[in-house]
Structure 1
């Protein structure tokens, strides 16, 4: 089957394929895992990328835990922020057994347009051909990509919260994931799709570092969307984590703004039924901080207008949109290289936005994460049992509590 490109929105491309091939009418391709692509940066941000500048003749081994299962899989690779062609010399997918071993007999070579090698133009995204591989819900997969040429690492997902391995040479057919170098970012890998039962849909969580799992344990799948995926697995609703650490609603941050990426990360995913929007705290906290020292605090009306743009886009596409209140951040990142993340003026704006989210009825439903996670004795701070220790991000216990407090009926 001929591969299709990201220049056609993915649902439209699938519709075109179904129309051209009536025998495929029973297919139901659903995104079951994603990592929102980001451009790498230099010294304009206070945090390092923590990845090499480039790789040559190297294999990347990356692990993912999917949400919904299916009878076949496809892998999406992205050169969205590349300045030159990306050559993938070989690619392979397999089921994991334990932390780092390939399940015997599960490894399969990925092809793109029936070819084992694929070249992505600068800015291009490619989807692999369908691969016959039954993957259960919540299973872990290994995706290996061989980069034969000098390859600048310009498209990545910074806070992967999963160890990836880099090893010299072509080792896509390895039986154990290991490498001479390790990173915690996602490199060029953006989506996994499954051919799922016909009643399977997707829910996207559009968020920032709290959604991305910044305070959770590495290699543990303990982000709050991970816990939510466990609750929804039996209901055939895939949970897609579109969190980007440092993400903002109105302006670019450690990635493009939510207004700019909503089409790619929500509307561009097939079978999306619901989107949860958990954004705004970085719009409030970044101005005047080490991240954006020369920016001014946005007005309440600007943030509301941004939320309304997302709401309008979702409703025009028959997608249920749920807002969340902004969690407390007093004391956030104190003692780190990030200064002035919180202030009394910023707290006042957070409270005003939360009041609007709760009372405006602009969203189809509201998840009150502020109420769930704040300390009753000090409401501008996180509960100690929720706090990872940096007074901004929940830890594993907090993430689990957040997911378990959500009324699933509001999501469907």
Structure 2
């Protein structure tokens, strides 16, 4: 384990104090509320660059646990802050030490020289997050590039509560048991890996020049299930890459609020709360959010208990639009993709999917429609996914299919 020298730590604190003066102190955020700028933080300064929708809590037996979450930015900035969550914890969560850093190479816990930064909350390193709560860090002086991995490391002493987590990261992160390794710079300090994200629910940047953020609200197809690990091939990642080559005034952060197994209408354990219940946390609370892309409903249809009444699903989607409009957001509706050939497929379910898609395309409820169904279906059989896009389970696209989906979104609609 390597520790920052006292002189370096003092410099970090001094830089952080300067950023606090320039950007304004950041307050803890109550569950379901949107982070509000302080007097010194003009609206729009902070924009989300990465997010994960926490779905449940897990007891993985890790005591005195240091977790180095690997997240991937969409837009860059000259300062960064992180959001830590105890959303599904059953007791207070003490976080004694948090750091951010850039990795020396992608998908590695090893820190690039000179990039490790201490993270504080109201000027101190330790913070206690109440059950259901979220805290936002003070600004951290670190130039964060776009489309780059970022290491967010937390040390939680003892074992106080199950860890709120996002189960399907499609990304390896790292952890160590029994000691505080938050300021370790070498890979050897993190001997174990995980494919979930723990505690970290968002990363925001300042000085990005972005117009705001786009939130992708969805299920496993948005979450990137069956895409390649560690390669950021989810369709929101493809969209983010396309946005980055736009002129600076047309760029957005892209925030993935997909949860595998998620539904519009029903809660699902590790599949998270119903989309209708998680809007406040996963959409409206995102800094700088301007647009929502909704791709939800296939699990209401194909999972037990099956919802075969399309009117109930479309009513839920209409409520998402109405509540989003009330927050001043633009809403794009994604049509549900085909799944004939899946073991879960039945003719009544297909009829419900088609009815929901007809409503999405024609009801005029959404501000615009992204016809994902038309993008990925087989021209020879509209009930099936094109074989080249199929991951093999006939329900989820593979990398090529996700690339087609992310490439099909008209950027002018954002």
Same fold (TM over 0.5): yes
1:57 aligns with 2:67: no
Q: Deviations over 1:22-54 (max 9, x none)?
A: xx44870011100001113xxxxxxxxxx6533
* Structure 2 counterpart of 1:201, from 202, 205, 212: 212
* Structure 2 counterpart of 1:313, from 311, 323, 327: 323
Supply the distance in 2 between the matched residues of 1:400 and 1:108 (Cα, whole angstroms).
34
Q: Superposed, which structure 2 residues align to 1:68-83 within 5 Å?
A: 68-83=75-90
Aligned-residue offset at 1:323: 0.3
Q: Which residue of 1 aligns with 2:169?
A: 160
Q: Which residue of 2 aligns with 1:123?
A: 132
Q: Which residue of 1 aligns with 2:15?
A: none
Change over 3 Å in CA distance of 1:195–1:10 after alignment to 2: farther
Aligned-residue offset at 1:11: 4.5
Aligned-residue offset at 1:12: 5.4
Q: Which residue of 2 aligns with 1:277?
A: 294
Secondary structure of the structure 1 residue equivalent to 2:238: helix
Q: Deviations over 1:71-119 (max 9, x none)?
A: 1100000001101111112111001221313111010011111111111
Q: Deviations over 1:136-184 (max 9, x none)?
A: 2112101111121114434110101111112121111222345332210
Structure 1, gaps ≥5 residues long: 41-50, 288-294, 335-340
Aligned-residue offset at 1:296: 4.6
Q: Is 1:27–1:196's contact at 8 Å kept on the other side of the alignment?
A: no
* Structure 2 counterpart of 1:227, from 201, 225, 238: 238
Normalised to the residue count of structure 1, the TM-score between the two structures is 0.88
Q: Which residue of 1 aligns with 2:8?
A: none
Supply the distance in 2 between the matched residues of 1:162 and 1:318 (Cα, whole angstroms).
33
Q: Which residue of 1 aligns with 2:348?
A: 345
Q: Deviations over 1:268-304 (max 9, x none)?
A: 11221110000000000112xxxxxxx3524111111
Structure 2, gaps ≥5 residues long: 1-19
Change over 3 Å in CA distance of 1:94–1:372 after alignment to 2: same
Q: Deviations over 1:174-223 (max 9, x none)?
A: 22345332210111110001113455310000000000000110111110
Supply the distance in 2 between the matched residues of 1:176 and 1:398 (Cα, whole angstroms).
37
1:170 aligns with 2:173: no
* Structure 2 counterpart of 1:211, from 215, 219, 222: 222
Q: Is 2:33–2:281's contact at 8 Å kept on the other side of the alignment?
A: no
Aligned-residue offset at 1:13: 2.0
Secondary structure of the structure 1 residue equivalent to 2:337: coil
Q: Which residue of 1 aligns with 2:341?
A: 331
The number of residue pairs the alignment matches comes to 381
Supply the distance in 1 between the matched residues of 2:205 and 2:242 (Cα, whole angstroms).
19
Q: Deviations over 1:301-358 (max 9, x none)?
A: 11111111111112122211000110011222x4xxxxxx221110110011111111
Supply the distance in 1 between the matched residues of 2:72 and 2:84 (Cα, whole angstroms).
17
1:242 aligns with 2:265: no
Q: Is 2:90–2:162's contact at 8 Å kept on the other side of the alignment?
A: no
Secondary structure of the structure 1 residue equivalent to 2:103: strand
Q: Superposed, which structure 2 residues align to 1:3-402 within 5 Å?
A: 3-7=26-30, 11=34, 13-14=36-37, 17-18=38-39, 21=40, 24-25=41-42, 28-40=45-57, 53-99=60-106, 100=108, 101-168=110-177, 169-177=179-187, 179-233=190-244, 234=246, 235-253=250-268, 254-287=271-304, 295-332=305-342, 334=343, 341-402=344-405
Q: Is 1:61–1:177's contact at 8 Å kept on the other side of the alignment?
A: no
Supply the distance in 1 between the matched residues of 2:33 and 2:118 (Cα, whole angstroms).
22
